[in-house]
Structures are given as C-alpha cells and as structure tokens.
Structure 1
Amino acid sequence: MKHKDGKPVFHPDKKSRAVPMAIMFVVLCGFSFYLGGIYCTEKDKIGAKDVAKVVSSSKESSTAPLQIKPTAFPECSSDYQDYTPCTDPKRWKKYGNHRLTFMERHCPPVFERKQCLIPPPDGYKPPIKWPKSRDQCWYRNVPYDWINKQKSNQNWLRKEGDKFLFPGGGTMFPRGVGAYVDLMQDLIPEMKDGTIRTAIDTGCGVASWGGDLLDRGILTVSLAPRDNHEAQVQFALERGIPAILGIISTQRLPFPSNAFDMAHCSRCLIPWTEFGGIYLLEVHRILRPGGFWVLSGPPVNYENRWRGWNTTVEEQKSDYDKLQELLTSMCFKLYDKKDDIAVWQKASDNSCYSKKLASTDAYPPKCDDSLEPDSAWYTPLRPCVVVPSPKIKKSVMESIPKWPERLHVTPERISDIPGGSASVFKHDDSKWKIRAKALQEAATSTRV
C-alpha cells in the first residue's frame, strides 16, 4: 500500500510490537522491586528499633521495685487482747437468750470494725514447739489464773512456774485422758486400725481429748463457745491443737454433711433431747453413714452416777430413755457401752430411714429437698432428719479406705465440686507429693 503522497507505508506486525512492550514491563517491575526492597529494609530497621525499645522498657519495668505505700495501724488498747469480733461478749445484749443464740457468730457491721493491731499479752513468748506444746504452754501467753483455780480439782491444768501444764484430766476422765481414750478404743476398734480419721469434739474443755487423738492418728476439731470458759479454745490453739469457736444453737455448724467419722461429747452439757432433738439432728447431719457418736456424762451410767449430779435416779433414767428413743428414731443404734461411755452408730444405708420416716406422723420427720444438705454458713437448723443421698456408697464408714491409703483415694463426692473429677484429684495429689518431698528435703538440708 502507498501513502497519498506516493511513499510506501510500513505496517509492523503484532509480534514486532510486543517485544519492546515486554522489555518495558520487565524494566518497570525490576525498578519497582528495587524500590520496594529499599523501603522494606528501612521499615525492618525501624521495627527492630521499636522492638528493642519495648523489650528494654519491659526489662526496666520488671526490675523496678513495686511501689507500695506503707499503711500504719495504731495499736489497740490492752482490753482488746482477747477480742474476737464475731463472738464479742460486749455485743451479746443485742441478741436473744433463746437457745443461747447470743453466743453464735454475729459479726459487727463495717462501721463498728476495728482498724488496729491487737497487742500480745505482757511477757509474751514464742509458743513452745510441738510435740511438747501438747502438754504445756507459757503462762504469759494465756494468763488466766481463774480457770486454773476453778478447774484444778478436775486436773484440767495447773500452773507451775512460768508455764501452764496440761496433765490430761477432765470431768469424766479423772485418771487422765489416755486411760479414757484407751477404754473408748476398746469399745470402738475402728479407732485403732485407721478406719476413723476425722472427729469433732463438742464442748471441748481445754481440748485434752483432741490432743491425745493426734498421737493416735485421728484429727479432731475441738469446738467450744466463747462462754465463761473463754480461754478453752485459746488454750487449744496455743498448744497446736485444732479448735474453733462455735456452738450448736440456731445455725448449722460450718461443715458439710457426712464430714466426720466420729463425734464426741464429754459432759458437754448440751441438752440433746430438748427442742425436738435439733442439736442431735445436727450431729447426725455432719456424721458420715456408719459414723460414731460418743457420749460420756449424764445420763450415761446414771445408775451409779446420779447422786453426784444433784438429781434423782428416776429423772436420769427418764432422760436416758428419751435420748435412746430419739437416737433410734434417727436410725442410730447402740454400738457399745461400758462404765461412763456409751457409743451409738449412724445407719450405714438408707433402709432404716425408709422404714422409720415413711409415715407422715414420723418424728423427727425427713427433711425435704428445699435445703441443701451441705449448706452450712448461716443456715438455720431444722428439726428434721437429713437422709444421706443414695448415691453415696463408697463414703460409708465400712467402705471408705483406711488411713493412710485414704489420703490418695479420690473422694466419691469430688464431682460435687465445680470442675472436680478423678483426673483433677490425681493430678493435684501427685503435684503435692512432689512438693511435700521437696519441702522435706529442704528441711533436712537446713538441719544439716
């Protein structure tokens, strides 16, 4: 083809035009890659500097001392030496006398709470170490002369020099707590072979019974109110014996159901048959199926003891018959009795409850399901029988492993705890075995 001026026109084909375009594309891509590389390199350098700053600042903050403003508390006056906020005798007048409810736990409101440090007694010394402390404590740590004078005839304690000595006497064991527990073990062989591991002592005196059982492999919680024997729990704690302030009155004890293997009352003066047997019903609740309740003192052995109790034999016989009838209605059976000690055992299964509590006229009646059996804190006592769950079979006294094997066996009720399971228990058990071993090794190396 020719142009209009007659010159020939050149038409390149498509292939010849594609080559320079491809070259241009490659050049542009390479240039872009080069610029991008420069940008990223600089960015990485900046990022590295920022990270270094963060790490450096975190190191500085982790090594910087924690700033805590000190708070100074004044010292309380000396009349607060025995201050127990929730069982304060100065506040008892605010509460009624019915069933001694004023001795229960009544914590002060916020505006009445003290913000001061309780001073130790004059001449206070570090407590005597266990096991010597079981039988003695410094007089100046618990300076109560009046209890020494009042209970000296019962051999509870005696003052010698700068110490209180605890010979293990008691109202019902004048020959000493050791002989008393020996007789009890003859009546309850389960105390010897590891079957019984946990116990509660209601109205504990100076906790001689609980202290003696520690040497026999039984852990005891000694329970007593803040009453005219105000120092009895303090004497126990000072000597290293577990004890709490408490009373069976209108509220449940702070323990779940089926918690103890044994309960004990040695002339604790609790009116077991009064108020529909409500106090004994609480003991029934916290005892595991097959558990034991031990009573020494009135009305046990009334045939020989009634003269010393300022009463009549007929009255004491009536009291004993009422007690036996009440215990039978709760599915306790008389396990054994000798001299001043009587032992009853709680039913191991629910067949007894099915028979005795089936009638609508049964008294005490069966508790309904509106109240959780394990509910404890600030839960009112009710005059009814808490029947153990039929699901509980391995927690019966006859079925539970003996101590110390029991320590490492998964409790049957572990699933009742949120997040609780056999695997969680085993993991926790193995973890604490390692930690306990490490603590023992550390203690041994320290002594060496």
Structure 2
Amino acid sequence: MGVYKIRMPDVGEGITEAEIVEWNVKVGDVVKEDDVLAGVMTDKATVEIPSPVDGTVKELLGEIGEMTAVGTVIISLEVEGEGNNIPDTPKAEEKAEEAPAAEAKVETPEPAPTPKPEPKKTPVPKPATVKRPSGAPRAEGEKPLASPAVRKRAMDAGIKLQYVHGTGPAGRISHEDLDAYISGDSAPAAAGPGRRPNTDVEEIRVIGLRRKIAERMQDAKRRIPHITYVEEVDVTELESLREHMNASKRDDQPKLTILPFIMLAMVKALKDYPKLSSHYDDDADVLYQYGAAHIGMAAQTPGGLMVPVIRHAEALDVWGLADEAKRLAGAARDGSIKREELTGSTITLSSLGRMGGIVSTPVINSPEVAIVGVNKVAVRPVFQDGGFVPRKIMNLSSSFDHRIVDGWDAAEFIQRIRTLMENPATLFMEA
C-alpha cells in the first residue's frame, strides 16, 4: 500500500491561496476516482476538489476556514501501489527552508519599557447563597433603596441600582443583592412566570463566502469615499407597460420585472455619462473607462451575496436582459454559476425587491465607481393637476466613488435614468 497526497490546486488568475470551506469526506472513508473530497474558496468562486484516484482517506490536513497556500498538501489517501510520495510543503516553502541561515538579518532588540504598576483592585466577595428576588418589580421612576456604602460600591463598579432587584424590606438593595447582580445570578425583576434570562452565546466562525463578502465590503468602505444620491421616480406608466408586456408575452419569453427596464435605462444613460462604467485602479492612479456596459446584478443566495454579471447589456433588449438575469440568478442560487460569470462587471445594480425599503446606502463593488440601488415600489398620493392622485413611486438610492464622480455628475446620471423610466417609450427609441 502507498500514500497518494493531494495538493491545494492552482486555479489560475494569480491566486496564491484558497480557503477550505468544507470537507466532503472524513478519515477512513473509501473514495472513488472523481468523488468530491473538499470545497475551497478563492476570491472569485468556490472550487471542488475531486479525487484523482481510488483509495481510503488517511489524513485531512487543514481546518475549515483556514487559508492554505496553493501547492500545500491537504489530503492524504491510502492507495494500492506506491502512491506519489511528495513532500507536504509547497515549493516556495521548500526553497525558503533551504536558504542558508547566514542570510538572515539579526536585529538587536530594544530594551522593553518598564511596566507601570497597576492599581490594586479589591475583589468583590461572592456569597455562598443568594436569596432570589421575589415580589412585584420596582415601579418606573421609583428611587432604589440602598445604604450609602452599597451606592458607592455600585457607582465605582459602573452599575445602575435602578436595574438591581433588592431582597430586603421594601425592596432595599443589600451587598448580597449587588453580589448576585455582578455574578449574573440575579433574576430580572420584571420576569414573568416561567421566564428566565437567556445567557446562551453561540460562537459562529465567519468563513467562506461570508468572510469574502466581509473583506470586500470593509475594503470598499475603507478605500472609497462614498457619495449617496437618492431620487424619487414615478413608475406608474412604466408599471402599466410592464403589465401589458407580461400579459401579451410569448410562452418562451420570461416574465418581466422592473429590473430589466432599469438596466435598459442605465445602458442609455451610460452613453451620455460613460465615466460611470469604469474601474479605478487607485494603486496606479488609472481609470479604465469601458464602452461596454457589464452590469453586475447583486443577488442574495443561501450562501450569501453574489454579483453575477450580465455582459454587454448594451447589446440586449428588455427580453434578453430579463432572460439573462433570470438565468444568472438561478445559477447563483443553486451553486452552478461559473467563476467567469461572477467577474468583470463595470457597474452594479442592487435591489432588495419588496424588502427594498424607502432609502438604502449601497456599497460600491470595487473597483467600480458606481452602484445603482433600487427601493420598493409603493402607491403614494401625488399632487397633480390641482388635486391628489395615486401614483406608483419608487426611490433610486445610488452610491458613487467621489474621487472619480462629482456630485453634479452623479445627480445628472440618475436624473437621466429617472427621465427615461418616467417616459418608458423613450427606452425603446434608438436615437
């Protein structure tokens, strides 16, 4: 019997490490060739690692959530024959280990500063038994009863006596009551029959897609000075057109939501404001302005937020946009979406559908310079022709990279989209 070692694969695109997000096998499992052994995540997508041979899982090297360098051995299989007998470390690490020790720089450490003595703290004694509070809770605004010594001790500890239940006469708070409150043994005064405080704390590791989302959002907010512009749009006529088109569509055509119409408006507005379809490389101080409109479409999936990309939206009509949006959203949710379908967007459209609220502050999908946010449609009274009439109104909440996009240009871009949406016939005019 031999040992066959499987390395973290090189998935290309300059990826140097990947995160282990799941093990599909455990030690002792018998696997066949092409069985999926693990799932790893790069900056772009989740990649499955299949078994290249038949064998038995001997060792899993690495923890879920751990970042592992490309080329590192992560799985060992016991196989028939000699196996492949390769070292466990990547080539880069092997070279580093072989480097002569004389090349290492030796620095003289600075003397550590003398630590300042910390003031002594008087420990709070914890009684062996604590009388549980009973009776009616303290009335709102009622001054808690306590001796000056108890009040001073509570003040030094940063505790408000209003929240400490006293067990003494007339609800008087004693040192024992304060001890119970500090130790967490005191039951809340307002707790009803059968109710108890829930002190459970669940530790959840932030790994996989959620960690990637967190990293990207933090980086975008740290690096990009956001400016958010909100505008109200009357979509009454657009909604009437959408309902008519859905009622008369062919069986092979997808049902239209409002998003393909917004994408159509974005494409037309980008012709007048091409700077909004760009990538900004702030390390090189270079702006890459694209003639194409590759629209990223933020989609919520069971694993977290993904942004599938509708490529060359400028070449699609409203039906084509709807069809591609439906296909990509479905692939993102069922996990079949390809890595290349999640990259390359030049501007993003974000929508929470019916949960869209009134206003939002979307975060720019770096290195893009703009994101258009869609809020929910609601019927509101609008003063028109001397009286109030019901109109379907929605807001566009959009964010821009203020290093590249001035506030005036951002406003003009959104106003152009608003005009197109409020006059939907213009969406289908070529000139």
TM-score (norm 2): 0.24
Select the structure that is richer in strand.
2
Give the helix-richer structure, 1 or 2. 1
Higher relative contact order (CA 8 A, sep 6+): 2
